Structure 1
Amino acid sequence: MDFNLLRFCVYSLVLNLCGLAFVPRVYAVDKFVINHSVSESDQRYQYTYELLDLIINETNADFGDASIEVTNLVMSRNRIFRSLQDGQTINVMAEASNEQWNTKLIPIPIPIRKGIQGLRVFIIKNENKDLLANISSLEQLMMLQTGSGSQWSTRVAMKQAGFNVVESAQYDSLFNMLSKRRFVTFGRGVNEAYQEVELFQKLYPELIVDEHIVLNIPLATYYYVSPKKPRLAKRIKIGLLRMIENGKFDQLFYRWHCECLIRSLLNKRQLFKITNPLVVESQMTSIMGEDFLFNPSLDISSICEKYLE
């Protein structure tokens, strides 16, 4: 064989082999479709959206690129549940744990809010601050009418405990109802109350956050994934565990929540606790253990120092 021809053949073979070595891996693109907030005033899901984005970035090397889309439909919680089952309109949502969602969807049982959503402080009218300050027992607290969303798991827990619960299906209307004295207390997660009072300040300047009481209703916020999208569930779990291990999860959690936790002074409040029939407390700690949950008796200021520098 001609030497030049032989050299060309060898050169071509080497190029082809090298080329195969550098062909980029082809990944499927994961498409996460998440819920739309119920109104312009509803900021409850912003933390979960940002966390999901970080989870995706953390798992790019394993799963490839992904996109997050917000559905353009505003849906009730019950409709979201039905939509998650078929995985078309929406395929992932961060929501409070309950048995129906745990059995019909794919839960990732890592409480992404460390349980603080179950530490309920009360939004009240300023005129009632002394009334709350003089409460010394759970029985006294239950004598006051309280407001709740009609599809919230905390509603079930409070009604079972003996609270007189006034309900509404509309998130925004609950603040209007409180302003109009339809009820006296409006229990919100410590991560929600201060932001909501500020958001509704112009409409209802008389609303404040009570400074004396915290009601502990065990509550876990999990990511729930459509049973039609097990790959997305696997990706979320892997990403969450990785972020917890490398410290990125705590960085995000405390960056988002230190301000409200410091402001609330939970360790100086009267703490009452009721059970939540929709939450299995052992499930909340099944992966990360009890120490992962936020302890309201701690001095949060010292914990937050390193995260707010």
Structure 2
Amino acid sequence: MCKLLVLCCALLSVSTQAALWSITYPRALDDKDLRTEYPLAVLTLALEKTGVKYKLRPSDRIMLKGKALRQLKENREVNVVWSVTDAQREKDLLPIRIPLTKGLMGWRVFLIKDTQKARFDRRFSITDMRDFIPVSGEEWPDTKILQANGFNVFTVASFTDAYDILESNRADFFPRSVVEVENELKAGYFSSDIILEPRHAIYYPTAMYFFVNKGNTTLARLIETGLKMALEDGSFDALFFSSYESTLKNLKVDERDIIFINNPLLPPQTPIDDATLWYRPANIAQ
């Protein structure tokens, strides 16, 4: 174990170890919404590494991301939320700057209406892509990123609304991260005439972190210590690849035409230079 982890572990006092940590996270939309599975697995791994006693429980009510982040800022209902980062979120909350999905939230494939497939069957430049209208959530950092790169984004209140927008031809594609799209395809949130576009992907650097309330520094240190221990002993990467290796192969990320765009929302503290924290497809120069 490296000296840094020894120091981190020393900071976890005897009282911290003895306490029962009750950790509340935002409740998922329904039983089909599997987006909580991996973040909860990572959180469980981190807490197990620290040896503390803990109890994880969902919030009493369903919370969309924007609501969950506001409640966390006010120290109400939830005490941990996982979310894509941006400068405002890091100003309002306390981020734990270890990318939970190794940057996969920035690898975006497209859901489209099957009648639109022929329009996507060629190589695109970023200029070409701006002729297409993406649909995205009103409060998502992804929306601001797309807008900053010149896209005319159709915004919706929740991700399930986006499928209706595709169905009605008010938008051309729904960019979904590679960690989300397979579960959504299986969950049946939309009709069979919405399909996965097979050729393209967009990439921008971004990170999904655990966030806690700014006043909850002890919980932040606890989670960060566990994550660093899991990175050090290889169990973090083992969980990541067991969760996503087959997905990356199924989506053929290594074979897609990648359109790179900028992320002006990326805070300067993002550990972008630490290659161990990020995934890069084999067809992209390391």
TM-score w.r.t. the length of structure 2 is 0.88
- Cα distance in 1 for residues equivalent to 2:24 and 2:279: 29
TM-score w.r.t. the length of structure 1 is 0.82
CA RMSD of aligned residues (A): 1.9
Q: Which residue of the partner structure matches residue 263 of structure 1?
A: 250
**Residue 36 of structure 1, CA deviation:** 1.2
Percent identity (aligned): 25
Task: Write out aligned runs for 1:1-309 (5 A).
Answer: 27-60=18-51, 64-200=52-188, 203-280=190-267, 283-285=270-272, 289-298=274-283
Amino acid at match of 1:32: I
- How many equivalent residue pairs? 269
Give the 3 Å change call, closer, same or farther, for CA 211–284 of structure 1 in structure 2: farther
Give the 3 Å change call, closer, same or farther, for CA 296–67 of structure 1 in structure 2: same
The 8 Å contact of residues 114 and 220 in structure 1, kept in 2 or not, is answered as yes
Question: What SS does structure 1 have at the residue aligned with 2:41?
Answer: helix
- Cα distance in 2 for residues equivalent to 1:210 and 1:49: 29
The 8 Å contact of residues 124 and 178 in structure 1, kept in 2 or not, is answered as yes
Structure 2 gaps of 5+ residues are: 1-15
Question: What SS does structure 1 have at the residue aligned with 2:27?
Answer: coil
- Cα distance in 1 for residues equivalent to 2:268 and 2:182: 26
**Residue 164 of structure 1, CA deviation:** 1.4
**Residue 155 of structure 1, CA deviation:** 0.3
Q: Higher relative contact order at CA 8 Å, sep ≥6: structure 1 or structure 2?
A: 2
**Residue 298 of structure 1, CA deviation:** 4.8
- Cα distance in 1 for residues equivalent to 2:175 and 2:17: 49
Question: What SS does structure 2 have at the residue aligned with 1:252?
Answer: helix
**Residue 39 of structure 1, CA deviation:** 4.0
Give the 3 Å change call, closer, same or farther, for CA 39–284 of structure 1 in structure 2: farther
The 8 Å contact of residues 255 and 283 in structure 2, kept in 1 or not, is answered as no
237-246 or 273-282, larger mean C-alpha shift: 273-282
The 8 Å contact of residues 105 and 225 in structure 1, kept in 2 or not, is answered as yes
The 8 Å contact of residues 134 and 173 in structure 2, kept in 1 or not, is answered as yes
Q: Which runs of 4+ in 1 moved over 3 A?
A: 38-41
Give the 3 Å change call, closer, same or farther, for CA 26–255 of structure 1 in structure 2: closer
**Residue 74 of structure 1, CA deviation:** 2.0
Question: What SS does structure 2 have at the residue aligned with 1:284?
Answer: coil
The 8 Å contact of residues 109 and 222 in structure 1, kept in 2 or not, is answered as yes
Please identify the structure whose Cα radius of gyration is greater. 1
The 8 Å contact of residues 32 and 69 in structure 1, kept in 2 or not, is answered as yes
Q: Deviations over 1:218-244 (max 9, x none)?
A: 210011011232111111101001011
Question: What SS does structure 1 have at the residue aligned with 2:209?
Answer: strand
The 8 Å contact of residues 38 and 171 in structure 1, kept in 2 or not, is answered as no
Amino acid at match of 2:235: K
- Cα distance in 2 for residues equivalent to 1:118 and 1:281: 17
Q: Deviations over 1:193-231 (max 9, x none)?
A: 122122127x41112111111101221001101123211
Amino acid at match of 1:160: A
**Residue 78 of structure 1, CA deviation:** 2.9
Amino acid at match of 1:292: L
Amino acid at match of 1:263: N
Q: Which residue of the partner structure matches residue 6 of structure 2?
A: none
The 8 Å contact of residues 69 and 81 in structure 2, kept in 1 or not, is answered as no
Give the 3 Å change call, closer, same or farther, for CA 26–176 of structure 1 in structure 2: closer
Amino acid at match of 1:290: A
